[in-house]
Structure 1
């Protein structure tokens, strides 16, 4: 009975050649598949990191925005409390400016009121700086519109400061229109929120910022709920 367990050497040579041919064909395919998987994995990782960065910056920008809005309300509060005026007087005395005031008690009150507004503005410096520092990433991740909205919102502090100075210089002989502009700048809600230019500017800029940043945070929250 013949032995069928052995394969002739010539047949093994043919099998090896065949496998070598298959390897030559499949090699580039395998490499291509590996490269495709690598590219997609990297792209997925990159998109994930970018998404995380956008979420992080959106939260940071909104936090800075709301703090700046609250600080503007604080600076422009029409009610100047007694302890604020006392602190302003103390500041003026410590700096030596108190003794330089000419014009009696009325002028001292005027200068003290101006200093009280400056004290308010100085207390908001950290919030203003935090908002300003958001601008570069706002432009890089979300575009020019968001950067401009942040810049415009932050500029309102400077506008208030300008009109605080104008209020100090005013001796009630300014024309009625200009007096009204001073009052609407340094007093929130004067004569009404609908008529107050700074109120309207703040509302508009906060609205723009929210329209860009809130959807990003809400989408992330929805994803977390769905997990």
Structure 2
């Protein structure tokens, strides 16, 4: 009778099955890990692209606001050059002829000044258009507060033009009305007072800065400066 000093025979089949099972489990874990890593990588890439999009649009909106503020300041400057008045006079002579010549000197001067400012406004059409172009992105990416601020700034171009038209027909019968019109079309204010239109422009730009600058600087969101 023989004795097996090495113990019972080793079950290679069972061991192979176990190893195969472990390999399958390890493979599954590896696949899951790769999938998780891929998902994390995609999510990080997506967040980066969203952040870049926000930064890009914030820069565009803020740049448009600065250009618009500068354009409105140019339009509303009370200093009108002689060549601007001469160009305005040529416009009236070409389009109104004898009717222009029959107007009194003071009336002519007022009309020429108004037309000179209107010519400035025409030159700033691109700045006004840019504000309107960024409105959808302002709302979609940053919300209604930014949209309202951009829209308010864009509206000043229209309001100034309305007041210029009003001043063209103003005969000075109502001094208070004349002062209101001039306060709208000129970026000036009596000593110790505030120009209402200038204040609206500055407030709108300040609101745009409050919302856009933190995004550009990769800071946290700020609270609106405009009280609701």
TM bucket (normalised to shorter chain) is: 0.7 to 0.9
The answer on 1:124 being equivalent to 2:127 is no
Q: Deviations over 1:116-144 (max 9, x none)?
A: 11101001001111121111111111111
Q: Deviations over 1:151-176 (max 9, x none)?
A: 101101111111111111111102x3
| Residue of structure 1 equivalent to 2:157 | 157
Measured in 2, the distance between the counterparts of 1:63 and 1:77 equals 21
SS of structure 1 residue aligned to 2:217? helix
Structure 1 residue ranges (4+ consecutive) displaced by more than 4 angstroms after TM superposition: none
| Residue of structure 1 equivalent to 2:88 | 88
Measured in 2, the distance between the counterparts of 1:55 and 1:163 equals 36
Structure 2 unaligned residues grouped into runs of 5+:
1-8, 220-228
Question: How far is 1:97 from its partner?
Answer: 2.8
| Residue of structure 1 equivalent to 2:180 | 181
Asked whether the 8 Å contact 1:183–1:190 carries over to 2, the reply is no
Question: How far is 1:15 from its partner?
Answer: 3.0
Q: 1:209 to 1:192 in 2, by over 3 A?
A: farther
Asked whether the 8 Å contact 1:76–1:187 carries over to 2, the reply is yes
CA RMSD of aligned residues (A): 2.1
The answer on 1:13 being equivalent to 2:13 is yes
Structure richer in helix, relative to its length: 1
| Residue of structure 2 equivalent to 1:217 | 216
1:39-188 equivalences in 2 (<5 Å): 39-94=39-94, 96-101=95-100, 102-174=102-174, 176-188=175-187
Q: Give the count of matched residue pairs.
A: 210
TM-score normalised by L of structure 2? 0.84
Structure 1 unaligned residues grouped into runs of 5+:
1-7, 221-227
Question: How far is 1:193 from its partner?
Answer: 8.0
Measured in 2, the distance between the counterparts of 1:59 and 1:216 equals 9
Measured in 2, the distance between the counterparts of 1:145 and 1:86 equals 43
Measured in 2, the distance between the counterparts of 1:199 and 1:128 equals 16
| Residue of structure 2 equivalent to 1:224 | none
| Residue of structure 2 equivalent to 1:203 | 202
